[in-house]
Amino acid sequence: MEVIFERAGDRRYAVEVHRLGVPALRMDPAPGFDQYFPHDLQHLIVEEQLGIADGIFGRLAKGGTASTFHPVAPDGSGDDRARSRQQRRLRRRNDRMGAGGSPDFGRSERATFIVWHDWLTHCPEHELRSRAEGMSATAGSILDRMGSRERLDLCTSLPRVRVRVDTIARRWASLTSGQSMSVTRMPSQRVAVPSNADPGTTGDRWAISVGTDMAT
């Protein structure tokens, strides 16, 4: 699955998802623009690094829409009935996926804030560290409300996640309006781990590569 993050304006971005055998999806505008680390890019990196398999991008990889993405109409497509059928199929598939809910959505949302705060805290730029100071109370509250295993898993992963965030965030910050970067999701095989294993050793890992900028 390829995910394209596009700087669509001064403070606007879009996300497009390409998967084999199912329609491409797009969200434009996407929520939570940030110069360094927009919200949906946060989710992608967090779900990759923490092995969150049934979060937003896990659902997209399984053929869903995460209830926020919409099909991209092929160039020259003029068959309204065909598009309507396609949209109904996508809605039914997405409804089936979401029928039982998933704790991974909440886990991903909590982790994105903590990971973002942690990265800002360790940035060399004074401006970014100052942003972290304003987020500290909320970050502490989120950590306090987590279960002990979730909190330990996340906190022990932060140094590794921080390195990935720094690479991706600074690449995003280098783009100008109309440029994009491509991120490829390649899930590895899940490995069974004993129940007494240290937290943080389980879950899928996604290899992500930042591609060439693509002017739109």
| Cα 2–Cα 168–Cα 64 angle in degrees, nearest 5 | 30
Number of structural domains found in the chain: 1
Residue 87 falls inside a structural domain: yes
Residue 90 falls inside a structural domain: yes
Q: Which residue type is seen at 67?
A: S
Count of residues making up the chain: 216
Residue 216 falls inside a structural domain: no
| Model pLDDT, residue 75 | 58
Residues 6 or more apart whose Cβ sits within 8 Å of residue 91? 65
| Model pLDDT, residue 79 | 65
Report helix, strand or coil for 25: strand
Residue 45 falls inside a structural domain: yes
Residue 127 falls inside a structural domain: yes
Residue 73 falls inside a structural domain: yes
CA atoms within 13 A on the CB side of 44: 28
Residue 199 falls inside a structural domain: no
- State the residue range of the domain holding 122: 2-184
For residues 12-42, b (16+ Cβ closer than 10 Å) or e, as one string?
A: ebbbbbbbeebbbbbbeebeebbebbbbbbb
| Model pLDDT, residue 191 | 32
Nearest Cα residue to 171 out of 159, 187, 183, 161: 183
Residue 211 falls inside a structural domain: no
| Model pLDDT, residue 95 | 60
Report helix, strand or coil for 7: strand
| Model pLDDT, residue 193 | 32
Whether cis (ω within 30° of 0) applies to the bond prior to 29 is yes
Beta strands of the chain (E only): which ranges?
A: 2-9, 12-18, 25-27, 70-71, 180-184
**Could you list the pLDDT tens digit for every one of the 216 residues in the chain?**
899 999 999 999 999 999 988 889 999 999 999 999 999 999 999 999 999 999 999 999 888 888 889 988 765 555 666 556 666 666 666 665 554 568 999 999 999 999 999 999 999 999 999 999 999 999 999 999 999 999 999 999 999 999 999 999 999 999 999 999 998 765 533 333 334 444 333 333 333 333 334 433
